[in-house]
Structure 1
Amino acid sequence: MLTRLTEALRTRPTFGRETSHGRAVTEAGFATIYREGELVLRADMPAGVGGSGTGPTPGVYGRAAVATCTALAVRIAAERWGVPYSNHPRPFHKRSFAEGFTIL
């Protein structure tokens, strides 16, 4: 995998350097649709806080972004340094507070 990434960057210097554009549109309550190209994601808040629970909360998407980015960085670094990599799930924890704030 690392060899392919390295070769792509060598032969196409602009590979991986792009600006993405997305759009978020709110619907009833707190439901929100995010579109970026062909990708469509729906987020909502639980009914207990005014949403309708029709999709994951924005916090779920945020944690998924951080967790997947971290997992990929670890795997790429392991390949680069020749360290054996085992693909076991990594725990990712959150703590929420009554005020609605979340710490990743």
Structure 2
Amino acid sequence: MDKDSRIRDTQNRIKDVFKKRQQKALSTNHATAVIKDGLTCTFTQGEFSAVMDMPAIMGGDAAGPTPGFFARAGIAGCVSIGIKQTAVMAGAVFDTVTVDIETDFDDGAAMGLGDASAAPLETRLAIRISTNLPAPEVFALVEKALSMDPWFLALRDAQHVKFNLIVDE
């Protein structure tokens, strides 16, 4: 069985489960980030972990990519995978999906300088697809994929974010 057929079969099975039992489509992911010494942070979710740090110029040890690296990787990866999945489910062949991401920042705001927000100023995605399909069909599939992409939507749309503080004494 080729990869596209396996993807389509697997996703059709899970979609059937979600149609029959809508509550199965709801999920919560729990993950933990821990910093003990310096700025090196270990993030763990299930069996996977990643190390993040800041560059030396920011006081870190450069023991891993910055958190922003992983945020951009998550968005670009989610978008590219979502586009490929959407194409496969539609029976379309996308030979290559490439997503470039650029994000503008006010780094002074991230250091508490001035009144500007530390939120990214703008994020731009450049999506390149290698396929034999006509551009209007590709555009429609990409629009459909983006309308269902959790991390594209999280970046694009405001969402409610809350925190709970626990102080260990």
- If the length of structure 2 is used for normalisation, what is the TM-score? 0.53
Deviates more, 1:78-87 or 1:32-41: 78-87
Measure how far apart 1:44 and its partner are. Answer: 0.3
Which has more radius of gyration?
A: 2
Could you list the structure 1 runs, at least 4 aligned residues long, displaced by more than 6 angstroms after superposition.
none
Task: Give the whole-Å Cα distance in 2 for the aligned partners of 1:8 and 1:23.
Answer: 27
Aligned residue for 1:9?
15
Kindly indicate which of the two structures has a greater share of residues assigned to helix.
Answer: 2
Secondary structure at 1:42 match in 2: strand
Secondary structure at 1:83 match in 2: coil
Deviations 1:45-101 (A, max 9, x none): 000011110011001100110011101110111122232211254322334444245
Aligned residue for 1:62?
71
Answer yes or no: is 1:71 the counterpart of 2:80: yes
Task: Give the whole-Å Cα distance in 2 for the aligned partners of 1:59 and 1:93.
Answer: 11
Which residues of structure 1 form unaligned runs of 5+? none
- Structure 1 residue corresponding to 2:52, chosen from 30, 40, 43: 43
- If the length of structure 1 is used for normalisation, what is the TM-score? 0.81
Identity %: 23
RMSD: 2.1
